[in-house]
């Protein structure tokens, strides 16, 4: 059954959003009482023990899913090359999440141009370790939106991220899998700007359309710098629930 996964990059609850969450428990436990997904960005900067991932997994309900950002050593240091050892370590670490690992997210540096050989090799490696897991790629150089890049992503079942703002994307979004991964960084000021009603409606329509088609869809708010991510995510959740309610009544 298709699901919409809505959440934020991290789960630290700002004071301005505290009223939307239960009082007792850790930040993650309180967060998971409202949302069903979270993006772990700290894995990009430093490794976490498998036991840490297991503790996080034990803190959330069965239907909750984590998206884990791949380490920068693979994307920003080695530029998708020589990835066998770091990929194996990363896979061993995130195995602590068990069935609550919902996605592996790869964000590429804006300067990294698409290299068909390197990309195909890296994605094949990722698929060997994460065969049944969604893998999403946020390319940020224009070459990652070429027909050739689209073909490589599709061949390996890698979901092209719908990012806002759409860094490097010259034209309209071209999907590479049936799944969807929205990353909303804040616009016009990345990481800082809140999203207004029209933006939330846009995201809700995308998610509702994917669900209607029977496909999973993620939406992660990354505009965390001034605490706007969680209120925006709550609004999207409410908006999507309202759309679903309307659809039920119309049937």
* pLDDT the model gives residue 251: 32
* pLDDT the model gives residue 12: 93
Model's pTM, two decimal places? Answer: 0.95
Domain region containing 226:
4-250
Q: What are the pLDDT digits (tens) for 122-138?
A: 999 999 999 999 999 99
* pLDDT the model gives residue 250: 33
User: Are residues 123 and 58 in contact, defined by beta-carbon separation less than 8 angstroms?
Assistant: no
Provide the pLDDT confidence category of residue 245 given band limits of 50, 70 and 90.
Answer: low
CATH number at residue 134: 3.20.20.410
Is the predicted pLDDT of residue 247 greater than 60, yes or no? no
* pLDDT the model gives residue 243: 76
Which one, of 170, 192, 195, lies nearest residue 182 by Cα? 195
The stretch 244-248 carries a mean pLDDT of 50
The stretch 164-186 carries a mean pLDDT of 95
The stretch 30-49 carries a mean pLDDT of 97
Is the predicted pLDDT of residue 231 greater than 70, yes or no? yes
Q: Structural domain tally of the chain?
A: 1
* pLDDT the model gives residue 16: 84
User: Are residues 229 and 193 in contact, defined by beta-carbon separation less than 8 angstroms?
Assistant: no
The stretch 158-173 carries a mean pLDDT of 95
Which one, of 167, 146, 168, 157, lies nearest residue 120 by Cα? 157
Q: What are the pLDDT digits (tens) for 61-101?
A: 999 999 999 999 999 999 999 999 999 999 999 999 999 99
Is the predicted pLDDT of residue 228 greater than 80, yes or no? yes
* pLDDT the model gives residue 184: 98
Q: What is the 3-state secondary structure (H, E, C) of the chain?
A: CCCEEEEEECCCCCHHHHHHCCCCCCHHHHHHCCCCEEEECHHHCCCCCHHHHHHHHHCCCCCCEEEEECCHHHHHHCCCCCCHHHHHHHHHHHHHHHHHEEEEEEECCCCCCCCHHHHHHHHHHHHHHCCCCEEEEECCCHHHHCHHHHHHHHHCCEEECEEECCCCCCCCCCCCCCCEEEEECCCCCCCCCCCCHHHHHHHHHHHHHHHHCCCCEEEEECCCCCCCHHHHHHHHHHHHHHHHHHHHHHC
User: Are residues 229 and 13 in contact, defined by beta-carbon separation less than 8 angstroms?
Assistant: no
Q: What is the mean pLDDT of the chain?
A: 94
């Amino acid at each position: 059954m298709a699901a919409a996964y809505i959440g934020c990059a991290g789960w630290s609850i700002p004071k301005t959003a505290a009223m939307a969450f239960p009082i007792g428990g850790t930040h993650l436990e309180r967060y998971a009482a409202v949302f069903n997904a979270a993006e772990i960005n700290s894995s990009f900067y430093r490794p976490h023990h498998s036991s840490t991932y297991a503790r996080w997994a034990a803190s959330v309900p069965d239907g909750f899913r984590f998206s884990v950002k791949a380490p920068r050593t693979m994307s920003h240091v080695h530029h998708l090359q020589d990835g066998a050892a770091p990929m194996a370590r990363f896979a061993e670490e995130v195995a602590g999440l068990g069935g609550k690992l919902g996605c592996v997210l790869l964000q590429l540096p804006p300067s990294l141009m698409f290299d068909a050989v390197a990309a195909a090799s890296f994605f094949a490696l990722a698929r060997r370790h994460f065969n049944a897991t969604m893998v999403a790629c946020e390319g940020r150089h224009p070459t990652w939106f070429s027909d050739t890049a689209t073909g490589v992503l599709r061949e390996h079942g890698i979901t092209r991220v719908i990012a806002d703002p759409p860094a490097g994307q010259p034209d309209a979004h071209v999907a590479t899998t049936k799944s969807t991964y929205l990353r909303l960084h804040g616009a016009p000021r990345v990481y800082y700007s809140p999203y207004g009603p029209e933006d939330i409606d846009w995201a809700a329509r995308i998610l509702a359309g994917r669900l209607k088609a029977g496909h999973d869809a993620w939406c992660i708010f990354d505009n965390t710098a001034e605490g706007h991510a969680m209120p925006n995510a709550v609004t999207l959740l409410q908006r999507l629930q309202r759309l679903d309610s309307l659809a039920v009544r119309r049937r």
